[in-house]
Structure 1
């Protein structure tokens, strides 16, 4: 997300659709559904709808199914699904640390190297039972949505575990450097914010937690993780009742890897502000860790110090990637620590439930790496070949710019429906399905609990699993414009029938704020709920 130029929220074997089936499917739905499609806010919009009976493969409803439409985060169904196919639900990331040089009397004369594996969590979201923690308002969208709910897990838990293992291996002092080997895939520029790499700390974010103090005095500002890699200098004041919310800081500092990397944070926090989404404090903003390899290096050195391991190198210096050995030169006897992750099905659930953009982009890159390519462009080409060969989806039916649904990512409802239908026949379908947001229960569809017209969705709650996607830009008047809002997934109908469905609307026009997006999501939820009841 960058300056609201784009917002991608966390909110169907191949089937040939015959012309006869398509014509038969062009029917009107119930009056209450048609009333939704004909609302004034949709007068200039284009709807794409498709419903497929999973048992028969028949298309039972179709509208603009062959029209290329912007899809936002619905795109993640493709990238994350292929990563699940490639890696498997039981796959675990293993992140090792190797020593270069000998250890004598507790002193390592040489470097300590962490080899990044693409582990998105690095232990920072994992519970004791092996599951990954997430919330319905993820911190990756804090700045775009205006708030979030932070997880309770320790974001540095993995690095702390690695440091303890190194100390237990008998290393007490490192006469050399600590280096992050981040060569798993080529860096990818994520939405004009930073270069995405295969090493992560707290999802490459510093969480800033804000609370008011006394009017006219300093607001309470805290942040996590705490590290010398980035510090904050808050001058935020508590404003009087009715004052404007004004938070002034740089969310994309470029100084990570330099001494005294400091982010000033000023402005005014109204004392009577009701935080959006949560309705309670803290109000959360984030600072992007723009050089994750440098930040991870500093954090590891700091965790080593906490367990009594001294590192002589400057802890806030840049990562010395130029001093890395050949990629195939690491020896098993030189391994001094390793971090093993939760199972990959937990990652799939996390990414899809909260629509984690970096997670989806990394999933595509990992899919590429496991097939011999290490750039985003190569992974996109490989993905297109796989989608055609395995799912019968032509490259002319899709246009993807990344793995997460950024920018003008588009697809036809028919292509999405074909994918969903084919996935329902795969062995890993139960894992894939349960990873999707569940209507009124969790993920980006949990917000249905807050809708005014809950009655319209009652019964369907928990019986619709779907990925949402939203794409918002600004028009020349500076107004927020909805280019796309969609929902695509599965319905287990009250009748016992099972469906794959796609609901996408493009070009709604200018909106007044996030409440309008919630209304569109509610409308799509009501359509899905109607299908659950009546079919």
Structure 2
């Protein structure tokens, strides 16, 4: 069975969380209108858990099955991002340097190598808006192939590499006689959900975006891609078909040499009916993606091309090829004298928004690695072990109440509602809480929660829009009957109609769905409706 969690993760990772007070015995049954949702036929075989707590007083308003360990999906990210915000600080900025190894002659020729030292900046300036914020859309390209479409951000995805190249040129280097190398030794690469390895260097979230539009029946469809680089080219035999012929689009990346190494390519084939309507957005363009699986090779080519655009001649190194990590010096030999350029990122608070509002899985896993580095470890296994000690020893969450396999909520990630609320409470009492709260999706505002605000049947709930801030999480797999929604969770905060701030965690496990995506959307809408009821009644 193929896991489709990433799709669901992106769409429903921002759900709301409940308060946490392990010792309280003041437990009340859920109100009738919420219980009526729990009792629907769709959830006949399901398990619901809900815990709601007044953040200020600690009063437990509702509690049901909150000590059960349930699948929470991307709600796990409220742990990772809270920890990283605390360890790095909301104002932390990545500083990605470029060093030289060798001397620069009087004529501007570097007799030696130019080295970009990756620091784990998972945007590398590619989402930087003119106003100094992170560019984010409600339908991110990281889930384009799973969800069926995306809305691309507008900033140049290669901005950071162009900025570094311009600084190198400005430092007086006119040519490089040696190699251009990416130093990606910040942490040990880790496997992302048995698909590819993640390292500390990124280009456009390690994706190639395809931008597709139909033309006239019988003609090739318009297929463009970004970023443009010699490292990866796209060929297309996608034709525009007559209306009603049916859509069939196939993406076939050539992974023989590793995507991004040695001039890889992707092929697009099939047919696109002239009357095809792009999913979700219902407007053109239609976005699909290829995955970069050798990011250091790809980043090396991208940086060489940026240097060439900036007027720096690369004398001997080939633009397309493998990253020569064997040429790297010992890590402690970089000095201020060898520094030629440095890319300063936006504050980490903007990265927190990116991860939580988009439910960016790779960004959350990388954030756990960044947290691990502050604890003295450089690999995912040790970071998870140290995090477990931190959650139990410092935050006070019982070890039996959570099970994390990565930093983003993949696969069999479980937690109790009380554990989730304990983390939310810890975040709420920390100095970084304003930035954390600002990072959560807003009901009716942004992220997945922007889509689930259909309260027409009960206008008394409409005021909840803009007053709930929560992370969603989804874990689903294919089954013989369609889709088994093993877990859908929502956790965060509600500023209620009567001026209270609530924490809540809401989870449902084991929902059998057909292949009709509307059923899946219905579960998310039901959880949003429950959120709105809590807003109205308190």
Q: TM-score category by the smaller chain?
A: over 0.9
The CA distance in 1 between the partners of 2:208 and 2:81, in whole Å, is: 25
Contact 1:164–1:304 (Cα < 8 Å) also in 2:
yes
Give structure 1 regions of 4+ aligned residues with deviation exceeding 6 angstroms: none
In the alignment, does 2:25 pair up with 1:20?
yes
Equivalent of 2:378 in 374, 380, 401: 374
In structure 2, what is the equivalent of residue 38 of structure 1? 39
Gaps of 5+ in 1: none
Larger relative CO (CA 8 A, sep 6+): 1 or 2?
A: 2
SS in 2 for 1:110: strand
Equivalent of 1:331 in 335, 356, 369: 335
The CA distance in 1 between the partners of 2:5 and 2:35, in whole Å, is: 31
In the alignment, does 2:497 pair up with 1:503?
no
Contact 2:93–2:347 (Cα < 8 Å) also in 1:
yes
Equivalent of 2:393 in 389, 396, 399: 389
In structure 1, what is the equivalent of residue 291 of structure 2? 288
Equivalent of 2:468 in 464, 469, 478: 464
**Deviation for aligned residue 1:314:** 1.0
Q: What does the per-residue CA deviation read over 1:489-520, in whole Å, with 9 as the maximum and x for residues that have no partner?
A: 00111111111001110010133233222211
The CA distance in 2 between the partners of 1:342 and 1:368, in whole Å, is: 21
In structure 2, what is the equivalent of residue 310 of structure 1? 313
Q: What does the per-residue CA deviation read over 1:264-314, in whole Å, with 9 as the maximum and x for residues that have no partner?
A: 110111211111111101111010011111110000000111121111201
Contact 1:182–1:293 (Cα < 8 Å) also in 2:
yes
* Closer/same/farther in 2, CA of residues 499 and 529 from structure 1, 3 Å limit: same
Contact 2:113–2:178 (Cα < 8 Å) also in 1:
yes
Contact 1:2–1:193 (Cα < 8 Å) also in 2:
no
The alignment's TM-score, normalised by the length of structure 1, stands at: 0.96
* Closer/same/farther in 2, CA of residues 479 and 235 from structure 1, 3 Å limit: same
**Deviation for aligned residue 1:248:** 1.0
Q: More displaced, 381-390 or 137-146? A: 381-390
Gaps of 5+ in 2: none
In the alignment, does 2:151 pair up with 1:149?
yes
Q: What does the per-residue CA deviation read over 1:105-133, in whole Å, with 9 as the maximum and x for residues that have no partner?
A: 11111100000011111110011221100
Equivalent of 1:176 in 171, 178, 187: 178
Equivalent of 1:245 in 244, 247, 251: 247
The CA distance in 2 between the partners of 1:160 and 1:5, in whole Å, is: 35
* Closer/same/farther in 2, CA of residues 456 and 447 from structure 1, 3 Å limit: farther
Contact 2:454–2:525 (Cα < 8 Å) also in 1:
no
Q: More displaced, 57-66 or 237-246? A: 237-246
The CA distance in 2 between the partners of 1:19 and 1:78, in whole Å, is: 23
* Closer/same/farther in 2, CA of residues 2 and 178 from structure 1, 3 Å limit: farther
The CA distance in 1 between the partners of 2:160 and 2:464, in whole Å, is: 39
SS in 1 for 2:345: strand
In structure 2, what is the equivalent of residue 64 of structure 1? 65
In structure 1, what is the equivalent of residue 86 of structure 2? 85
Q: What does the per-residue CA deviation read over 1:192-230, in whole Å, with 9 as the maximum and x for residues that have no partner?
A: 221101111001101001111111210110000001111
* Closer/same/farther in 2, CA of residues 129 and 451 from structure 1, 3 Å limit: same
The CA distance in 2 between the partners of 1:319 and 1:247, in whole Å, is: 33
**Deviation for aligned residue 1:363:** 0.5
SS in 2 for 1:100: strand
